[in-house]
Amino acid sequence: MVHTRTASTETSPREPAGEVLPTRPRRLSEVSRFDREADVVVVGLGGAGASAAIEARRAGASVLVLERGSEGGGSTAQSGGILYFGGGTPIQRACGFDDSVEEMFKYLLAASGPNPDEAKVRAYADGSLEHFAWFVEQGVEFKPTFYAKKTTEPPTDDCLLYSGNEDCWPFNLVARPAPRGHKPKTTGSAGGLIMKRLISSATSLGAEVIEDARAQTLIVDDGGRVVGVVARVLGEPLLVRARRGVILTAGGFIMNPRMIAQHAPKLLDVNIQIGNPGDDGAGILMGVGAGGGTICMGEGFVSMPFYPPSKLVNGIIVNEQGQRFVNEDAYHGRTGDFILRQSGGRAYLVVDNASYGRPISGMQLKAADETIAELEASLGLPSGSLTHTVDFYNEHAKAGVDPLFHKKRDYLAPLVEPPFAAIDLSIDKAVVPGFTMGGLDTLPTGEVLTPDGVVVPGLYAAGRTTAGLPRSAGGYSSGMSIGCATFFGRLAGKTAAQAG
């Protein structure tokens, strides 16, 4: 007979007695009392949650925010704080860049991968100038200067940068390039500053925040409408009624290894989880429990931040066949995604003395030699492979062209000055930051859809709890996450506040 006793069945998990599971919503009929009540209840006070709270208050709703941490901020507060704006912002214009809503739309559509959410892309491009003005109104300042070097995040207080693949092949064939990364005016990371302003704005407008409040599951009435949240505050239960709607803005699931393995196994190679401990997927699971569908769960950002210094982009990246496979000036998230696809996850950045610089991210040197042939041997690459690749590259770089991958002329210089070195960009040796992109399926308004495509009454979501606008590692730009979280967070707040 077939073997029925396996490791899994022996430890077959059963319903834990009395435990509150996020995917098991509480029935309204089982709730005897509510401790608190508000028109709109927001779960999570990161970029999406604070923006939702602001707009819900502005629309006249009472707002209660449940924040799991001892203070708000979420992953936005921990980030570089780059925001993706375009269509001709005052900063773009001051720096001499010509951008339009249509060019931004075309770029975002192409960058979203094979299944773009055109309605979200449309809304985001159309609303970008207004969204920029809204940030200024919240007290966030932007300096009208351009940071020209290739970097992950300006170390200065400069604002504007190319934060994605806008001026890189093949995206530069799709839409007229323009830099759209906008960093608020501060030296270094700006995420903390952004969240300080947004939280201050939300509370000034009268949104109430309960900290150390961990949402556990949603409360659902007999008709399937979401009407509240079961939470725990410092060990005590808190039952909260939401008269108009609950907005889930509780982050993604990069901190949940089980969900990563099940849904986005490519992210198992990530060794720096971008996020905060709350990014454990609880928001997504609560939404699923109330009937919400998830989409794009396999998508995620896998980065390979080998630059700055930007002169490293003059090097070439090769796989274990000694072949190039990506334009080295691509955004580091695109490069990371391509490296994942190479055999054994192996890749090396090959530089000469002129293009060498110590990578700020801490990537390690693998080998250094006086000739390319020696370097090829040191790396264990097939004899003749790297030498051909460098010869072919050099011959065309001299003429300022890259017929294989169309790297920009700015970074094309023959690799001829010894010594030659290889920096290890192999997935298991390099610094590999990443985060999840999949989540609840929502309309641009933040309304959550079932797997059948029907709205779940009373339920809204935004930020990384949803599959938002960015849904392709190969097309991601810095600023899309916070830009999207705040933009669609605002829409969710406004929509929930006006719900019947």
> Residue 428, interface with a second copy (CB under 8 A)?
no
User: Rounded to an integer, what is the distance from CA 377 to the centroid of its chain?
Assistant: 38
> Residue 22, interface with a second copy (CB under 8 A)?
yes
- The C-alpha atoms of residue 90 and residue 93 are separated, in whole angstroms, by 5
Site for a second copy in 342-361 (CB under 8 A): 343-344
Q: Are the C-beta atoms of 29 and 52 separated by less than 8 Å?
A: no
- Measure the N-to-C terminal CA separation of the chain; round to a whole number of Å: 59
Site for a second copy in 34-63 (CB under 8 A): 55
Which residue, 204 or 262, is less far from a second copy as judged by CB?
Answer: 262
Q: Pick one of 341, 358, 398, 409: the residue that binds a second copy (CB under 8 A).
A: 341
- The C-alpha atoms of residue 212 and residue 14 are separated, in whole angstroms, by 29
> Residue 12, interface with a second copy (CB under 8 A)?
yes
Which residue, 16 or 96, is less far from a second copy as judged by CB?
Answer: 16
For the chain, helix, strand, coil in percent to 5 are 30, 20, 50
Q: Pick one of 42, 229, 413, 443: the residue that binds a second copy (CB under 8 A).
A: 443
Burial class (CB in 10 A: 0-12, 13-18, 19+), 387: middle
Which residue, 82 or 491, is less far from a second copy as judged by CB?
Answer: 491
- The C-alpha atoms of residue 389 and residue 348 are separated, in whole angstroms, by 13
Stretch that binds a second copy, among 80-88, 230-238, 293-301, 408-416 (CB under 8 A): 293-301
Which residue, 165 or 294, is less far from a second copy as judged by CB?
Answer: 294
Stretch that binds a second copy, among 22-30, 62-70, 79-87, 154-162 (CB under 8 A): 22-30
Nearest distance from C-beta of residue 265 to a second copy, angstroms: 4
Q: Tell which residue, 479, 496, 494, 470, has the closest CA to residue 132.
A: 479
> Residue 491, interface with a second copy (CB under 8 A)?
yes
Kindly give the residue spans of alpha helices, DSSP state H, lying in 16-161: 47-58, 74-78, 90-94, 101-111, 118-126, 128-137
Stretch that binds a second copy, among 2-10, 152-160, 208-216, 241-249 (CB under 8 A): 2-10
Site for a second copy in 371-390 (CB under 8 A): 382-385, 388
Site for a second copy in 248-277 (CB under 8 A): 258-259, 261-266, 268-269
Which residues make Cβ contacts (< 8 Å) with residue 332, sequence separation at least 6? 152, 303, 304, 305, 306, 307
Phi-psi region of 362 (alpha: psi -120 to 50; beta: other; left: phi over 0): left
Q: Pick one of 177, 224, 418, 419: the residue that binds a second copy (CB under 8 A).
A: 224
Which residue, 85 or 146, is less far from a second copy as judged by CB?
Answer: 85
Site for a second copy in 305-324 (CB under 8 A): 321, 323-324
Integer-rounded Cα Rg, in Å, for the chain is: 24
Residue window 89-128: x/- pattern of binding to a second copy, with contact defined by CB under 8 A: ------------------------xxx-xxxx-xx--xx-
Which residues make Cβ contacts (< 8 Å) with residue 14, sequence separation at least 6? none
Which residue, 40 or 421, is less far from a second copy as judged by CB?
Answer: 40
Q: Pick one of 139, 206, 237, 451: the residue that binds a second copy (CB under 8 A).
A: 451
Site for a second copy in 157-216 (CB under 8 A): 170
Which residues make Cβ contacts (< 8 Å) with residue 341, sequence separation at least 6? 325
Q: Pick one of 45, 254, 288, 304: the residue that binds a second copy (CB under 8 A).
A: 288
